[in-house]
Structures are given as C-alpha cells and as structure tokens.
Amino acid sequence: MSKKVTITGATGNIGQLVVPALLEGGAEVTALVRDPQKAEGLQSQEVTVIEGEFTDTEAVQMAVEGADAILMIAPPNPDSAKQMSGLINAAKKAGNPYVVRISALKAAADAPTDNGKLHHESDTELMESGLPYTIVRPHFFMQNIWMSIPTIQEQGQMYWGMGNGKLGMVDVRDIADVAVEILLDGSHQGEILNPTGPESITFTQVAEAISKFLDKEISYVPVTYEQVKHSIIEMGWGDWGGQMMHDYAKAYAEGWGDFTTDDVEKVTGNKSRSIEQFVNEVLAYGFQQQTA
C-alpha cells in the first residue's frame, strides 16, 4: 500500500520540489493550497488538492485526515505560530501521523529574529504534542540569491546586508531531498536536522562563483541593515518582513551563520550541493529566463 503524505506550502520553494519527488517515490500526495490557479497545476500532477488557507479549520482537517505523514511548511509571517498550531491540532485529531516540520536556522526563544522565535514556539508545540516528528532547520537558502538576478544583469552587482559574514548556505534541492527521504522512510524521528551546504562562505565568494559562470566581473556590494529593511519593505514584505531581514542580516554579518553540518549526507547519502552547483544548475536558468 502506498504511503499517504499531506503537504502544506506545496507551491513554495521547498514544496514544489518535494511534491514530484514524493509522487516519484510512490506516495499518494494531498496538498492544502490557497490559490485555485496553482491548485490546477498540482491536480494535473495527480495531487489531491484541498483548497483553503491555514485559518480554514475544515479544509486543514480534511487535508490531514488519513495521512501517514505530513510535511508542514508555512511562510515566514507574524501569524506562523498560530498557523502551525492549527495544523498540529488537526494532525492530533487525525490520529498519529508522522510530522516533518520546516523550521528556521537556530530557532530559539532568544533567536535574533522574530521568525526564529516563532519557529521555536512551533517546534516546542510539536515536540510536546505526542506526535512522531522530525524538525528540519535549514540554513539560508542559496535560492534567495535568485532575487539578485536583475541587479547582476543590469549593473554587474549584487546587494546584500551580510557584511563579510560567512554562511553555511544550503541549496533548497538538498532540503527537499532530506524531506522526501524522511517522509517516505520515516527515519530520523525525534531528531532536529540542520541541513547546510558543504562550505561556509561570504557573499564575495558567491559573487566570484557567479562571475566565473557568467565570465564577467560581478561584485558584492554590502549595504546597511537599514537599507536591507527599506528595500524589503519596498518589495512588499511589510514592516515585519523588513525588520526580520534587518535582524537576519545583522546576525549573519556578526558570524551567527558561520557553520556547516553533514546532515544532508547523513540523511540522503549524498554530499550537499556547492554554491558552484547552485549557480551552474539553478541560477543559470534564471539568467536564461531574464534574457529570453
């Protein structure tokens, strides 16, 4: 009998990689999706779609009912702990499904960002729920660099607020691989996994990898935390999002993210992907799209 897996955040960075891999692995996949247009895309992949928001308790309950495993992903937002609480309660009512939760790097009560504090609340709630669980706390996503494509192409520059801080940034493909592996085989229960890339690197090194790929000088321009906040607010993420990115930038600049783990290899058997692999295999596609 195939495994029934429910996923939230199926249309996001991690979810859109996880869904096809779960189907490929023989799972029956159900997704809670709020956007009917995106739901159509998933239905065409033979995913059972339950349309609804995290606040729609009926839809949430329907989505988790009968699941053997659930992958819980919510975007960073001030209501995330409440949203997760609704999902955890629905999972408890649905029986005893195995829950894999995407949390945040070094989530803690005294984390330097509100996002880290909210994730700590949700991690604690899940750990105390009695449900079998694995918590995944990934490092900074390499895919975040995607948002620098326009300035790289137009100005040969990328603007970030991490100073000379080093980050063990991770390719989202590795996070998805970790999630799929544990959802399908149920391993690593009761653990907190911290997927990182293979190296802790500065944004100057990221720019070097991009320069090499494009065969053109690309430079990293460090900006202030206030500039980070301002541009994030301008991008429409709101004051909460702006402050979150301000606080992450400061923490990373101060060396908070300067570490790597071998958790990707421990779970998947494969070494985590390097920044060069990310640039050559993922960012390359973004450059093609922009010039097409």
Where does this chain bind ligand NAP (CB under 6 A)?
A: 8-15, 34-35, 38, 53-54, 73-76, 102, 104-105, 115, 138, 140-141, 144
> Smaller CB distance to ligand NAP: residue 127 or 214?
127
Least distance in angstroms from the C-beta of 1 to ligand NAP: 28
> Smaller CB distance to ligand NAP: residue 43 or 96?
43
Strand, helix or coil at 11?
Answer: coil
Least distance in angstroms from the C-beta of 84 to ligand NAP: 9
Q: Are 10 and 31 in contact (CB under 8 A)?
A: yes
> Smaller CB distance to ligand NAP: residue 248 or 291?
248
Least distance in angstroms from the C-beta of 216 to ligand NAP: 26
* Residue whose C-beta lies closest to ligand NAP: 12
> Smaller CB distance to ligand NAP: residue 97 or 257?
257
Least distance in angstroms from the C-beta of 215 to ligand NAP: 28
